[in-house]
Structures are given as C-alpha cells and as structure tokens.
Structure 1
Amino acid sequence: MTPHATDVVGSLVWSADDGGVWAVWQLQPFAFGPLVPARDKMRAHGAISHMVNNLPGPSLLFSLCEPTPHSVLEGLMLHDPVPPRWGSYVQRILSQLEGRTVYHRTFWLAARLPDGRGSTWKAALDASRGFLPGALFSKRRTWRSEDDVETALRQVTAIELEAFGPIEHRRATAADIEWMIARTPRRATWGEPANSTWPDRQDSPSGRLLALNDAIWYEGGSREDEGRGFRRNYIRVETPEGELGYQTAIVVADLPTEATYPDGLAGWWYTAASANLDGDPFPVDWFCFVEPMDAGPAQRFLTRRHRNIVGQHEEYSGEPTGLPDSVQRADRDLRELRATLEASPGTKLLRVGMWFVIGAPDRAVLEARARALTARYPAGVYSLARPIGGQVPLVRAGQPGASRPRALMDYQHYLLPHDLAGGAPYCTSDVGDPAGIPLAVNLSSGLAELVYVDPGYGPRDLDRSGSVLATGSPGSGKSYTLKSMTWATVLSGGQVVVVDRSASREYVTLADAVPDAQVVDFRVGNVSLDPLACIIDRDQATTVATAFLSILTRVDLLSPIGAGIREEVEKVAMAGGRMADVIEALRQRRDTVDVARVADIYRAMSGAAAVLAPNLAPVDLTAGYVCISVPWLTLPEAGTENPLPEQAFGLSLLYLITAVSQASIMSDRARFGAILLDEAWALTANEHGKALVEQIIRAGRKEFVAAWLASQLPTDYPPEIADQVDIKLVFRQAGKATSDALSMLSLPPSADRIELVERHLSRGRCIFRDVRGRTALIQVLPAIDPTLAKVILTTPGDEAEPKPKTGAEAAA
C-alpha cells in the first residue's frame, strides 16, 4: 500500500493525494490539567486559537505516543563521567522496566502550503508518477525542483511568523516523517520504532517511503481472528518483520453542546491522554483534520445551512410536541456562528474531523482498550463511534500529506478557532526536567512517565533557582522524598549538606547508604565552626560572625551596641583572629562589655566550644554527603518573643551551621551543592535566618547551589522566600494549611483540590511544581537500592518502601 507522500525534503512533504506540498512541525505543549492555574490554561487557549485561525489551508493536528528505548532512558539518567555506583543504580532501574514499553507523548502539526497546485490535474499526475513501477524508469525521477523547495521554505517561514506566536516549535526532519510512516503499520507491536533512535536523513525518496509503509492490512480483520463476528471495526496488520498487530480508529461523533473552558467539559484531547485499562495506561494517538474557511465563504455556507434549518420550522408547525430539540439547537448554533463571523471578519470557520487510533498486540486487548477509551467520555455529552469499513484509511490518514478520509464525512464538526482550542489539543501534564534523577511517576500524564529531576538544571540551563520547598503533615513523605533526592544527587556527583535535628538521627543513618559521607557532631569538640576560621571571604565571615552574636545576645545591629560589635568583629577579622578574640575585644569596651558577659553564659553549653574555643581546626565540609548532627539543639517555638538561653544559643548555632555550609558549598562552583534544612521553620522564623535562606536562594543561580527546605506548614515560608522558589512539593495537609499550600502553588482552593490534598495524597504522593512552573500529581518512586531501602524510612512500623496503589505507579 502506497504512502501519502511521494517525496520528503527536510520538513517538506510532497503529497500523493492532492499534489500539494505540506510542512510539518513538532510543537512544545502547554501545561494543562486540574492542577494547572487557570491563567496558564487561558494563555495556552489564546495561543492555540491564534495558531489555528492562521493556518493557510488543510492541516492535520496530531499527537503520537513514541516508545522510549531503554538505551535512551539510560542516556537520560547518565552523564559523563559516570560515578560507579550511580551507573549500577541506573542499570537496576532499567532491569525493573524489562519487558515493558515506556511511552512519551509528542505533538505535531502538518499544514498544506498555499501553492495553488492541489486542484490541477498536472499536479495530481506528477504526484502519481512517483509510484510507477521502477522498471519503467532507469532511475528515479525527481518531480520537484530546487525552486519548489525554496518557495516552500519561504512559505514555511511566513507561517511560523504569522501563526505560532509564543508556541515553541521546531521544523520536522525527514527522519521524523520517515518514523511516522514506518510506525503506522507497527503501532503497539514489539517492533514499534522510536523516533529518538531513527537514523537522521535530509530527504526521503519515494522508493524508501514505499518500503517503510510496506505491510499487509486486513480491513475488518481476517478469518484467523477469534471472535471476529460481524462488527468488523478494526484492522489486522502484518508487518514485513513478521509481527502481528491490531489497530482501530475511533471517531468523535458528537461534542458537548455547551462546554466551559478551562474547567468544564472541554479538553477532550487532554482526556484521551489519561486513558488506562485496569489502572495500566496505554498509548492513544489523536488526530484532527482541519479545513479553514475565510469569513466570507463561511457566511455563505452557513446561510445555506441555516435556510435548510429554518425550512424545517414549517414541517413541525403542526406537531403537538413542537420543534425537536436538535433542530432548535442547530438553529441556535448557526445563529451564533454567523454572528461571530459577522462581528469578527478575521475569524475563520473550521470544518473539523477528529479521531483516535489505538493499537494492541492482540484483538482482545484492543477491544478492552477501545472500551476503556470510550468510557473516558461521559455518555450523552460526547459520542464516539468506530466505523465499520474505512478503518484503514482513517489509520493511515494520520500521516503528513494525507487528505481528509471519506469515513469522516459523516462526522464533521463546524467550529470556531476558540472552540477547537477548547479541546486542549497541544496540552499535557508533563513535569520534571529533560533528564536527571528518576524521582517519581507522573500520575497526571496518563502514560506513567518517569519524572526526572536534575538539581542543577534550573541554575545551569534556565537561569532559575534550583531551590526546593516541601510542605506536608508528619508522615506524608517530605523527608522520604528529600532523602531520595539527596542519595541520588550524591551518587551522581553532587554535594548535599544536611542539618539533622531529629532525635532519631535519621539523616545520620542515611550516611550508611551514601558514598563519600561525613557525619559531624560538634559536641565532640574536635572541629571548629568559627566563621572567622571557616569562611575564606573576609566580608562574608564578618557578616556571619556579627549576625551570630546578634542572635546570641539579642542585640539590634542598628543600635550603638550593635555598631560596636561590628567594629570589633572587623578588627579581629583583619588581624586574622577568632571568635574568642572578638569576645575579649568586646570585654575591653565599656559599651559592649555586657555583650561579652552574655556570651560567657553560653561557654559551658553543649557545642559552644565549636565556636568559642580558640585553637580547634576548621571543620571540613567537602565530602559528597555531609550530615551535621545536632539532635541536642534546643530551639524556640515559632513566634517566641523571649527565648530561653538554650533556645537562643540553638537558634544562633543553627544559623551559623547554615552559613558555614553555604560558604563551603559555594567554594566549588563546578559541583552542584544543596543545603538541606528539614523543619526549616526554625531558621525562617528568625530575621537573620530568613535573610540567609534568601541569600542562598538568590545566589543559587550563579553559584550553582540550592536550598532544599522542608516544613510542616506552608506559612513557615515567608512570601519573600516562597515567591523566589520555583520547585515546590505539596504533600498531605489538613484544615487551613490545605488552602495555604494550594495558594503557594498559585491554585485557588477549589473543593476538588482540597479533597485531593486532604484525602488522596498517600505517603510519597504529592503535587509537584517543577522549575518551569508546570504542575502535576506524582508518586515518589520506592527505594530499589537495597542499602537505601534499609535506612530511608525511620517511622516505627513502616515497611521497607511505600507501596504503589495503582497500575500506573506499578508500571514504573
């Protein structure tokens, strides 16, 4: 069976159906879904409406599910050089996926260029010549010239400038188009090709396209199919490689008569993306053939149709039931269309045909998947049909260059651009980074795709902060997630410094599973945390030392006494002294002697020697994983105005630990580093601590560092911190904290979202917003490394790993 293309040059396709030239693009989708802010959805709607309204002629909007080979998955998780243990961990992940095909969704547009050749007999003859038997020609003849290509490319550029606007796109390659053609008969078979591994090409002659499309197609199946019956609304396909597959096309027969966007019954393309069978997702390709009409011809066309409708009024005038609802609805819709086109002459009317294609290795699975997809659409609102006959043309019409299949003639829709955009055709729930640590499974995407997190992606590639905010009630999975990120970051070559205040020393235990780990306990008294000794930059050391004394003694640095503290710290720093020298210098001044006396109160406290002892060696924080264990640290409750001496010392020491860790991490800009602060409220509730966290977040863009913060309440993060962080994770919450958490994600607290956060976020499941602002529901992956699995959970009675609850989670 011949393909619809006779020749391919780059993104240009010479059509065998209409003799015209088509251009193909890959488009980057917009974020969509119940967890995406309405303003983002409206922005996507406007961009898609504009694009569709500026299409030059017949066009195919389509989305294909591409299989991802394990070799590609491996490349997404590895980078040079590969640390040994990280490479072993990646291989363990791939072994878990053995026997499964991992898909990801891609989005495309094919548009016929306005060259005026499609209606001429010569163009049709030229198109057909490409498929005449090779024996008639001594060599393949080329039925396009260089001038044709140059003209087409100029038109492609004009379309890009006029139609795409904010939509990110790239021109397809000949390899992309070859893959689409080769994949059509091999959909959902074990031999289904992947675009990512398809050989790169600049052009594709007709003979090669013919070979790629080679297959035996059985419309309605064959006698060998068990239970074939009379409803032969499927295809049996036998590929040259000897593989057998089954496919079916499902046409959108009826759309909702009224659908609100973005949160109503619209978004039918997005709905198909989340199809699953018994919790196990399966790939669904969708296609939309669009023929635009300018306002003038559209008005004349609608007028003729409206006259037919008005003529039916007299037919039913004598009926006791009056005019049928369907006729009244058609009358109303036509009036609205005509009014819109009259008010906006630049708006086009679109004749649209829409269909889905699914495949399966056997017919029983195909039928089950078809029922599952149909069930995704409410009966009485949407109507989906599986035509008997015409299945092969429908399936093959998903290739660029194809004309409208005949089977769509009975299922035509007349829509305005904003109506079509309401179906969310170029929208997805993808989250995460292009590559990196496999952290979770995306439960919103419909394909159980892995969610990758590259901690350095934001500051390195996007000039954005790589910092993370996590909030959730106890036991919801905050610490579990941050431990997973910590473990993977260190294994892949990064650095994480964590301040462990837990009595169970949970992050100390994590050191048993992490290579290049160092545990620091300042009570031992063998290392110094003195900022004047640990921080190389003199100005930074002076600032940290001054802030430490301010927190410790509760002296306002803008007061005369505060100015005196600053002066003495600067003098001692210039002389190469230590904090003990600062205390003695303060003792010699009349205005600061009381500060020295207050500092003396803390000398006997546990851990004080790490700051005030004069001769200890500075702490070394260069290991890949550094855990500073301070379970003995006493901190005041949030909002405490008059903390006890032990609490004031704990607060000042926590600030100092964080500041010294920041300075150490920033000293190596070639390696990504993160400071992990569990129960971060203790630091953010203090002005100096809040300023320090802000500094880490702001500096992260240029210093290749990040702050990873976890706290139970969203209000523990002041707006000046939360607003600067892109990556956020919201775990289970309750009460007012639920609304606060949703607001932190810029999501209005609707009833559905509140129910999700309070009742359906089991441990390890959370709402995740990535560094690019996209939001989705994810399930953090269980620890498959045996060493990590033993230490990652510390709650009494916990199992070794969280249990997946759905087939989508188990799939990954």
Structure 2
Amino acid sequence: MAANRDIYEAALSGAKVLLLDPKSERKDICKWDEKLTELGSELNFISFSTKDEDAGKLDPFLLFDNRAEAVEVSREIIYYLLNINIRNDSAKSSIVTKAVKRVGQLAEPSIRFVKDELRHLVQENDTLPEDHRPMALELASILEEFEDVSLARLIFGKRMDDENVLNYANQFNVLQVDNLQLPKKSTPSEEYTEANIVSVAILFSLTAYMMKFLRMFQNELTVVAIDEAWNFFQNPAGERLIDRLFREGRSLFSPIYLMTQNLMDIPSSMRGQIGTAYCFRTDIPEEIETIQEFMKLEDSAGLEDMMPKMQSGYCLYRDLHQRTGVMQVRILQEHLFDAFDTSIDVRELANQA
C-alpha cells in the first residue's frame, strides 16, 4: 500500500516510473487500468507472454547495445539455470563463460546460441581439456531442456518481430509476465520445478530491462519499483543483479523501491544501501531484531512489544535523515485505497460480502 502510493505520487509529480509486477496484481486484481483514470494514457502495461511476437523479448543481447553487458547478464541467467556456483563449480563456470563470450562475438548474437557454442567447444581441438568435454555436452543438454519450458521463449526464443524494442513514452509503466510461476517463499530451492526456475531466471532478464530504462531518461527523475523482491535474494546471482541495479540507480540519482515481506529477506550486506524504509507489523522475533538493528534503536525501544501489536496501516518508518518514528499510511480517496490494496484476504472478504 505504502509503496504503491509513493510511486503513484511520483508519477503524478512528473517522474518516469517502471514497476515490476511479477504476479500481475495491478491489472488483473486491482484493476489499475480502470481505477487510476487520473493517469489517463500515461499508465502503460507492458506484458510478456508466450505469443510469437514476444519471443526473444528478454534476450539480453536484444536489451543491451553494449555487448559486454549483454554477456554478463546472459552469464548470470545461465549460471542460475544450470545451478552453477562460481566458487564451487569453477570448471562449469569456465566452460559457460567461454561459450557466452563466443556468442557475444557473433554478428547477430543471441543467448539461444549458448548451447550451440557449448557443443562447438567440444568439437574443436585443444579448446577444452578432455575431462571437460562431457561436462560441456551435459550443460548444453540441460540448457536445451529448460528452453522447452513455455515461458523460456521470452529469453531463448527466436525473435519474430524486428521492431520488438523498448519504447517508454509513458509516465507510468508496469511490467507483467503472463503465467509467471514463481516459487513460494517457503519452498526450498531444491524443490523448485522447471517452471519455477525459468520464472526466476526471467526476473534476472527483467532486471536488465529495468537498467536500460534508467539510462533512457538520464535527465529526468526515474523510479524503479520491484514487487516480490525476495525472489532475487534466494541466490547469489539475484543478489548481484539487485546490487547492480542499486549502483545504476545511485549513479543516475534514481530511487529503487524494493517491496518484500520481511527486512530479513534483504541480505545484511545490502541493507546499508537502503535509505527510506517502512516496516509493518510482524511477530517474528528474528525480524524484529533485524528491524531494531537496521533502525539503530536501543533495546529499550520496546519493539518486541510494539511490532506484533501494530495496527494495520501503521509502520515503523525511517527517513533519509535517519529519523525514526511510527507512521500511519493513509489513503483517503476510496478508489485509490481499493486500487492500492493487494491484500488477498481483504478481497476475499469483500467478495463474500
């Protein structure tokens, strides 16, 4: 509610806004297209689907003019899909890096060619040590299996539309992916389905989309907001992408909003980059302790008693000057309250009534 209000007001004030809505709540549930009439044609929903016209739309080599950046993002995506850890899987990491770099040298590069380059490495003499050849073939086969998952067409599909490029003429842009199957926060990573893994990989590519957005309007205030941000912090690759987005935002004086269930979702090493924060009711002792440490409050602040009893709409707030206090988030206009409320429980009760 608080984040929706902030980015909405930013758009009304003239900022360019890009919101990643991985569950398509803003249009499918909250009906922003019907309720936020004051934004008029400035509200733009950008959908990513399995349709032919969207094939390859999230290919990093399409998103970035800079080949080095496209190579880096492509490598992050493939590392995640293949569950490669740089420290523990140095051989696999080296093989994938060689293949991705070779793709980057092609006249018309595409991330879908990485599996082909992995196989070419095996066929060429003296390119790989003998014991690495079976590994390269196995990685190519696993990658090919992921490409068969329907949503993977967004990343690995052959581009069907040469005009399929970024175009942000609107003030408020909402990125939505049809049928994105993100895992539940409680699901262990080893229990992720293929669709879960591909869905998280798509978030990585969407991060590249957001970085390009920030650079398109360098003389204007731009805001990037990410809902369900915890998905990025389930693995090192996601953390690196968010950190890169933070650095990009700082260099361009563009704020980045992270919406997530708990402050603990964000790694402690990255919390120092957070300025303004809203912390709402929680009864999780570890989360309360994390909030207290983050807000730099003394033990006598009594958060362990206050946070579980905090009324709906109230939060512990910290501003850019490190001032901390209790704030009530109020949305006075009824149509805005209804549009900004993404609470499933509230909507189910309303439907029952």
The residue number in structure 1 matching 2:247 is 698
Q: 1:721 to 1:620 in 2, by over 3 A?
A: same
The number of residues matched between the two structures is 318
CA distance in 2, matches of 1:615, 1:491: 35
The residue number in structure 2 matching 1:290 is none
Give the percent of matched residue pairs that are identical in Structure 1 and Structure 2: 19
1:350-404 CA deviation, whole Å, 9 max, x = no partner? xxxxxxxxxxxxxxxxxxxxxxxxxxxxxxxxxxxxxxxxxxxxxxxxxxxxxxx
CA distance in 1, matches of 2:50, 2:194: 21
CA distance in 1, matches of 2:30, 2:121: 43
Of 742, 745, 769, the match for 2:318: 769
Query: 2:24 touches 2:176 (CA, 8 Å); kept in 1?
Result: no
Query: 2:30 touches 2:340 (CA, 8 Å); kept in 1?
Result: no
CA distance in 2, matches of 1:634, 1:683: 11
Q: Does 1:497 align with 2:21?
A: no
The residue number in structure 1 matching 2:212 is 663
The residue number in structure 2 matching 1:509 is 31
1:70-469 equivalences in 2 (<5 Å)? none
Of 498, 515, 518, the match for 2:44: 518
Q: Which amino acid aligns with 1:520?
A: I
Of 156, 171, 186, the match for 1:624: 171
1:528-549 CA deviation, whole Å, 9 max, x = no partner? 1111011122221111011001
The structural deviation recorded for 1:702 is 1.6
Q: Which amino acid aligns with 2:31?
A: T
Query: 1:542 touches 1:569 (CA, 8 Å); kept in 2?
Result: yes
Q: Does 1:753 align with 2:327?
A: no
Query: 1:733 touches 1:758 (CA, 8 Å); kept in 2?
Result: yes
CA distance in 2, matches of 1:508, 1:782: 15
Q: 1:796 to 1:682 in 2, by over 3 A?
A: closer
* SS of alignment partner, residue 158 of structure 2: coil
Query: 1:511 touches 1:625 (CA, 8 Å); kept in 2?
Result: no
Q: Which amino acid aligns with 1:793?
A: D
CA distance in 2, matches of 1:798, 1:750: 35
Query: 1:683 touches 1:690 (CA, 8 Å); kept in 2?
Result: yes
The residue number in structure 2 matching 1:90 is none
Q: Which amino acid aligns with 2:166?
A: D
The structural deviation recorded for 1:587 is 2.8
Q: Which amino acid aligns with 2:80?
A: I
1:749-795 CA deviation, whole Å, 9 max, x = no partner? 43633332221x322211211112111222123143x6534422243
Q: Does 1:596 align with 2:117?
A: no
The residue number in structure 1 matching 2:125 is none
Q: Does 1:581 align with 2:131?
A: no
Q: 1:508 to 1:753 in 2, by over 3 A?
A: closer
Query: 1:677 touches 1:709 (CA, 8 Å); kept in 2?
Result: yes
Q: 1:542 to 1:797 in 2, by over 3 A?
A: closer
The residue number in structure 2 matching 1:677 is 226
Q: 1:547 to 1:621 in 2, by over 3 A?
A: farther
Of 329, 341, 345, the match for 1:780: 329
Query: 1:666 touches 1:704 (CA, 8 Å); kept in 2?
Result: no
The structural deviation recorded for 1:638 is 5.8
* SS of alignment partner, residue 121 of structure 2: coil
* SS of alignment partner, residue 10 of structure 2: helix
The residue number in structure 2 matching 1:654 is 203
Query: Using CA pairs below 8 Å that are at least 6 residues apart, which structure has the higher relative contact order?
Result: 2
Query: 1:497 touches 1:676 (CA, 8 Å); kept in 2?
Result: yes
CA distance in 2, matches of 1:663, 1:704: 15
The residue number in structure 1 matching 2:294 is 744
The structural deviation recorded for 1:563 is 1.9
The residue number in structure 2 matching 1:486 is 7
Of 538, 543, 546, the match for 2:72: 543
* SS of alignment partner, residue 19 of structure 2: strand
CA distance in 2, matches of 1:674, 1:738: 28
Q: Which amino acid aligns with 1:568?
A: A
Q: 1:589 to 1:503 in 2, by over 3 A?
A: same
The structural deviation recorded for 1:508 is 6.8
Q: Which amino acid aligns with 1:491?
A: L
Q: Which has the larger radius of gyration?
A: 1
**TM-score where L is the length of structure 2:** 0.81
Query: 1:743 touches 1:749 (CA, 8 Å); kept in 2?
Result: no
CA distance in 1, matches of 2:346, 2:188: 34
**TM-score where L is the length of structure 1:** 0.37
The structural deviation recorded for 1:522 is 2.0
- Between Structure 1 and Structure 2, which shows a larger proportion of strand residues? 1
The residue number in structure 2 matching 1:610 is 154
Q: Which amino acid aligns with 1:542?
A: V
Q: Which amino acid aligns with 2:339?
A: V
1:545-577 CA deviation, whole Å, 9 max, x = no partner? 110011011123462332222222223223231
CA distance in 2, matches of 1:593, 1:636: 32
The structural deviation recorded for 1:698 is 2.6
* SS of alignment partner, residue 70 of structure 2: helix
Q: 1:551 to 1:496 in 2, by over 3 A?
A: same
Of 560, 567, 576, the match for 2:91: 560
Q: Which amino acid aligns with 1:743?
A: E
* SS of alignment partner, residue 298 of structure 2: coil
Q: Which amino acid aligns with 2:306?
A: L
Q: Which amino acid aligns with 1:613?
A: G
Stretches of structure 2 that go unaligned for 5 or more consecutive residues are: 123-132, 348-353
The residue number in structure 2 matching 1:730 is 279
CA distance in 1, matches of 2:138, 2:172: 40
Query: 2:111 touches 2:155 (CA, 8 Å); kept in 1?
Result: yes
Q: Which amino acid aligns with 1:634?
A: L
The structural deviation recorded for 1:734 is 0.8
Stretches of structure 1 that go unaligned for 5 or more consecutive residues are: 1-479, 800-812
The residue number in structure 1 matching 2:350 is none
